[in-house]
Each structure stands twice: as C-alpha cells, then as structure tokens.
Amino acid sequence: MPDRPPPTPFSHVHAPKADLYRRVMGVFLHAKRRFLVHLRPEDVEEMLRGQGRPADPVDVAHALESLEAWGNVRADPDTSRVTTVDDFYRTRYLYQFTREGEAAEWALEEYDRALGQRGELQSVALEDIRVRLHALRREGEARDPDAAVVHGLLRELAALFDGMAANASAFMSSLQRTIDLQDVDEDAFIAYKDRLIGYLERFIGDLVVKSPEIRETVLTVEDRGVERLLALAGGREAADVAPGQDDQDDAEAARARKRTEWVDRWSGLRTWFVGDRGHPSQAALLRQRARAAIPTLLATVATLQERRAGRSDRSADFRALALWFVEAPSEADAHRLWRAAFGLAPSRHLGIDVATLQARAERPVPATTSWAAAPVVISPRLRATGHHQHRGTLARVVDRSEERRRLAAHLEAERAQLEAVRCRFATGRPLRLRDLGALDRHELALFLQLLGDALAAGPPTPQGIETISSDGTLAIRLQPIHDGAVVEIPTPDGVLRGPDHLITISDVRAGPSEQAVAAR
C-alpha cells in the first residue's frame, strides 16, 4: 500500500474555492465547540443553510473530498444507516477533524481575530491589576495562604496582564499606521483626532498614577516570598494534568513544569512594571511612546490641513517628480531632468585655497564667468588618491572611566539629597506654610514643583485641592486658610511671599503602617 502523502492543511486557503472551504471548516470548528465529533455531508449542508449561506450538495461533497485529501478532515465509513444491500455498497462517510486540520483552523481564526483587533489602552485593567496584587500581597503575608485563592488571583492577573499587553501593542501599532496615514480616511481622522488625543492623555495620567503603586506592590510580594505562591498555583494545576504515556512524566515533574510556567508569567508581569535606569519597564516605554504620539498626531493634522489649503507639499512634489522620471522618454532626458531639478553635478575634485579666496575678494569674479576662464584650484592629492588629506594613524581612544565615575557619584549625591528633601516634606501631617522655615535651593525646587502640581490640578474647592505629584509618588493636599495671613519663606534667591495655606504631603509608596509611623 503506497504511503499517504504528508498533510497540507493550509492548501485550502489559496485554492480556487477558498471561500467554500473556509466555510466548511468553520462548520467543523463550530461543531467542535459543541462537542460534536462526526459530521455527515448533509449535516454540513444544514449548518451552512442555518448560517444564511447555503451551498450546493455536490459542491459540499467535492469540498469534503478535497479537504480529506489535504489532511484537514478524516473520512470514516458510515455503516450506522445501512438497511439494505444497496445501502452497504453505496459510499457513505462520516467526517471529523484531524489534528492538523484543527490546528490549522485555530491558527486561521487567531489570524483573522488579530487582523480585526483594534487594540485599546486599558485603564480599567491597570486598576484591576492593582487590586489583585494587593489581595495577593495579603495572601503572601499570611502564615498559611489559601491555595485556591492564590491560584485564582494569579490566573486573573495573568489573564488581565496578557490582555492589556496585547491590546496596548495592537493599539500602538494601529496608532502608528494612523499617524503614517496608511489606509485611513483623512476626513474621519481629522474628525476624531481630538477624542484620540484625549484618550491618550487620560491613559497616560492613569499610567503615571498607578504604575508606581503597582511596582511597589510587586516588589513587596516578592519580598514576602512569591516563590511559595507560585508553587501553590503550580501544584493545583499539576493535579489536573492528564497522565502521560511516559513513566517519567510523574506528579513531581508536572508540578515542576507548572511552577516554571508560573515563574515565567510572573517575570513578564514584573518586567512590565519594574525597571531600572539601564532597562526601563514596559509601562515606562509605553508612557513615553504615547506621549510622543500626541505631538506627532498634531503635526499630521497640520500636514493634512496644509494639503487642503493648497499649500506646497514637499512629499507631493517629490511624488510628481518621481512620476516625471518614470515617464522620461530616455536616460538622457532623465539626466537633464535631474540637473534641472537639483542642480547637482560631480565636482568633488574642485577646491579653493586661502590665496584664491583673498584674490576673489579683491577682484570679484562675476557669476557669468565660465569655468574655463576662472582660476580653479585642483587638489593633486585628491586627483591622485581620491582623498583630500594624508591618512595617518588613528587618534587614540580617550579613557573616560574617571569622568563616568565622577558623574555617577554626582548623580548618586543628587539622588540622596533629593530623597532627604522628600523625607522632610512627606510627613503625612498637615503643616502651615509659615512653619516650613528657610528652604535651600533643592528644597525650594521640590516645593515649587509640588505647589505647581497642586495648582494645576484644577480650581480650588472649599475643602482644598487633592492631587498626586507628576511622578506619582507623593500625595498633596492644599487647603486655604481664610485669615488673610501672608507667609514669607526665606530662600537663597530671595523671599517667597504668598497667602498662607495648610499643606499635607504623603508618600504613596509607603504602606499604611509606614505612613502612620511618619505621621507620629
């Protein structure tokens, strides 16, 4: 018996009747979701009619034969309805998915879904991740955490994280295609650009506020022992692993494999929100890319408006020039068009020295003078070797390690000084501005930054203003004092004067217990 050729489950995609083949395979996939294994040709016809796209029974039969030949489905003799000898000799088949055909159809469905996905920046997912991380932290702090609760929280975190990351990637890709004006309606783009910019700004604000808290919670969970929680989740999943044919695939190996999978998922979540100076987090990169997209969107809108106003567009001019080059009758005409358009010619060997420049200054040469009548200096070395100057040894590489060390020490000193200033302000206690005392330059810079964040948060209410600093680490509450007092704060650059207020600054990175200690 000759060997069956290897299956080619994607052949139906580019076959002449690809649409019919895809519809038939969709019927099998729909039946698979309903736990139907075998289908007769008349079952396929009925389901196609139910979808509102009926097909001829002969075409369906031929499609099933072709799909069986390509290895998408398997045909088994149908002997369940044999009642006469004629029925026995008449060919009847039951069709079901092969492993290759089912895998190909799932892949094509995922491909179609990815093409149709618009993508979105999920601010709600950030809040859900924050809430579940806090719950996971409480389980990690418990002496005997509940395995079911831990497993459920980790599964929800993994699902939320995967969806948010995939949607963010798809949204930024579609945003870049919109900025590049690929397959986009210009009128529709101009109409919805304000909503798009507002959408980006809202997400950036949520990301700035919530990312630091998520980062600190992730680090806290790791400090409390995240390996124990991941092992609990891996153990629960290993209990549901079906027995394998290999004896080595025992329960211990299954637990180790599942634990490794959860470690990889946690590593992905950590990389998204925790980074350092050399390797910024994915959330920081997304925030940077989203911020950069806003001025680019505005520039794209300005370009479209200039096109509509009939102004000169360099890209349109170059496209018209490219069309002229294509339509040039000969290469000689193309060369003449090049010289007329750009006025460039290969004159690399021509040069001029100081004496010639001085002579030209004393006796100017008119622009109408021909090259033959005007004295032009030609470099002998350039003409002979193709280089202006004599090649010598390369310059030695300067060792900058000492400068880098001093710069790193300077940055570390600045960071420590800024942290000390933050510790002075972030007490969590209400404080009148007149009680701040004298401020040095570093303290003044941070104080003005926090004051600017508070005043930019909106008009004051009778209860005051509450907001978060621009870096998302300090909570600010500014309350007016209606006694008419004017405060004067001495600084190295002068005296800062203004109406007195009650200000409360808290470090949102600290836990409730740490904030209570700071308040005391």
Return the higher-pLDDT residue of 61 and 117. Answer: 61
The answer to whether residue 240 scores a pLDDT higher than 50 is yes
Q: Quote the tokens at residue 70.
A: 């390509």
- What is the phi-psi region of residue 509: left when phi exceeds 0, alpha when psi lies from -120 to 50, beta otherwise? alpha
The answer to whether residue 138 scores a pLDDT higher than 80 is yes
11-115 has which fold? Answer: Arc Repressor Mutant, subunit A (1.10.10)
Residue 379 has a pLDDT of: 62
Which of the given ranges, 24-28, 50-54, 483-487, 511-515, has the highest pLDDT on average? Answer: 24-28
What Cα–Cα distance (Å) separates residue 464 from each residue in 15, 27, 160, 474, 475?
70, 63, 36, 17, 13
Pairwise CA distance, residues 45 & 23, whole Å:
11
Q: What is the mean pLDDT of the chain?
A: 76
pLDDT band, residue 324 (cuts 50/70/90)? very high
Mean pLDDT lowest among 84-98, 409-423, 435-449 = 84-98
Pairwise CA distance, residues 506 & 512, whole Å:
11
Whether 188 and 452 have beta carbons less than 8 Å apart is answered as no
Tokens 């310059």, residue?
Answer: 395
The answer to whether residue 393 scores a pLDDT higher than 70 is no
Residue 184 has a pLDDT of: 56
Phi, psi of 40 (to 5 degrees): -90, 160
Give burial (CB, 10 Å; 0-12/13-18/19+) of 203: buried
Q: Quote the tokens at residue 216.
A: 């600190």
The answer to whether residue 382 scores a pLDDT higher than 70 is no
Residue 309 has a pLDDT of: 63
The C-alpha angle 190, 195, 199, rounded to 5 degrees, equals 135
CB under 8 A, 24+ apart: contacts of 271-275? 272/161, 272/165, 273/211, 273/214, 273/215, 273/218, 274/215, 274/218, 274/219
Phi, psi of 9 (to 5 degrees): -70, -10
Mean pLDDT lowest among 208-222, 266-280, 340-354 = 340-354
Number of H helices, E strands in the chain: 18, 10
Residue 239 has a pLDDT of: 72
Instruction: From 117, 92, 99, select the one nearest 32 (Cα to Cα).
Output: 99
| Strand spans (E) along 16-65 | none
Separation of first and last alpha carbons in the chain? 88
Pairwise CA distance, residues 39 & 29, whole Å:
11
DSSP string computed for 346-390 = --TTEE--HHHHHHHHHSPPPTT--TTTS--EE-HHHHHHS-SS-
- Name 75's bridge partners: 95
Tokens 């980006």, residue?
Answer: 200
Pairwise CA distance, residues 12 & 14, whole Å:
6
Whether 95 and 73 have beta carbons less than 8 Å apart is answered as yes
pTM of the model: 0.42
Residue 329 has a pLDDT of: 92
Each residue of 256-315: pLDDT tens digit?
A: 888 888 888 888 878 878 876 667 777 777 777 777 777 777 777 777 766 666 555 677
Each residue of 497-513: pLDDT tens digit?
A: 888 888 888 887 665 54
- The domain locations on the chain are 11-115, 119-241+249-297, 346-366+374-386, 414-519
pLDDT band, residue 121 (cuts 50/70/90)? low
Pairwise CA distance, residues 498 & 476, whole Å:
18
6-23 in b/e form (b: 16+ CB < 10 A) is ebebbbbeebeeeebbbb
Tokens 């093409």, residue?
Answer: 115
